[in-house]
Amino acid sequence: MKLWQVDAFANKPLEGNPAAVIPLAAFSETGLMQQIARENNQAETAFFVQTGEGQYDLRWFTPEAEVDLCGHATLASAYVLFEELAPELSQIRFATRSGELIVSRGEDGLLVMSLPSDPVQPFNGPKDYADKVGAALGIAPPKELYSARYLVGLWDDPKLICGIKDCGEIARVLREEYFWGMVVTAPGDEGYDFVSRFFAPDKGVPEDPVTGSAHCILTQFWATRLGKKTLKARQVSPRGGDLLCTDEGARTILAGRCALYMKGEIFL
């Protein structure tokens, strides 16, 4: 098997979010793909199979499980196709467990990705849950909590988000309300509209460096609060990454760059 490791939402290698990308003639047995993802030990390993001209089936695995949506590994897969396997293409359509995802070539090396939006709902859990979340992360409780694909916590100060040491005990607290991932966010500074981090320790991802699926939630959330359609976002993980996010209602448009870190072969 051929393998590429690509840093997504990155201007150069060693930034953004690394994803392993493996093209296949046909999908392998699910257990084997899970083993490969565990061996790769990246937040996600993407496997894709061509089904037509510019059309591919795409699946994503963390070290622990197959997931329904992964933005950065989708961007990385498109990068491998555009730059390595199918340079004649200007647009790629991926069929996934979250529906059709489209990635197009943008200007100045940007890749532009269309994903389904994930609107938030009010969180209706226990009244002391915000205190538990703050204590688990080692910071003050969030000002507000919301539910979407993940739990979403809102703080007022971006410095609090930047200062979170690690995922702490958040996995235990998330399990109480049947979540496996959490987005933490605050208004941006230094030219950014908002900042965020993402934790999913129960999926083998203590912290994800840059998370496309989280921005399917955050783009519409912050566009509504700020009265802006297009926003500049920074995921302030230790690696960090920049995203240009556009709210298109039912769809979220994310634009970013990718950098090739490694390519090789897997022998099984």
pLDDT tens digit sequence for 42-64: 999 999 999 999 999 999 999 99
- Bridge-based pairing of strands 91-96 and 99-105 is antiparallel
The strand pairing partners of 102, in sequence order, are: 93, 114
Token pair belonging to 80: 């491998």
- Residue 169 a catalytic site member: no
Whole-Å CA distances, 180 to 84, 105, 160, 200: 34, 33, 22, 6
Record the tokens describing residue 44, joined without a space.
């996600």
Dist CA 8 CA 237 (whole Å): 14
* Predicted local confidence at residue 267, as pLDDT: 96
Asked whether the whole model's pTM tops 0.85, one would answer yes
The 10 Å Cβ neighbour count of residue 169 is: 14
Burial of 29 (0-12, 13-18, 19+ CB in 10 A): exposed
Domains, the chain: 2-115+254-265 (3.10.310.10), 121-249 (3.10.310.10)
Of 29, 44, 53, 100, the catalytic one is 44
Mean model confidence pLDDT for the chain: 96
- pLDDT 10s digits, 132-145: 999 999 999 999 99
Task: Provide the token pair at 130.
Answer: 């915000």
pLDDT at 230: 98
- Of the pLDDT bands very low, low, confident and very high (cuts 50, 70, 90), residue 213 is very high
**pLDDT digit string (tens) for 30-40?**
999 999 999 99
CA distance 92 to 47: 15
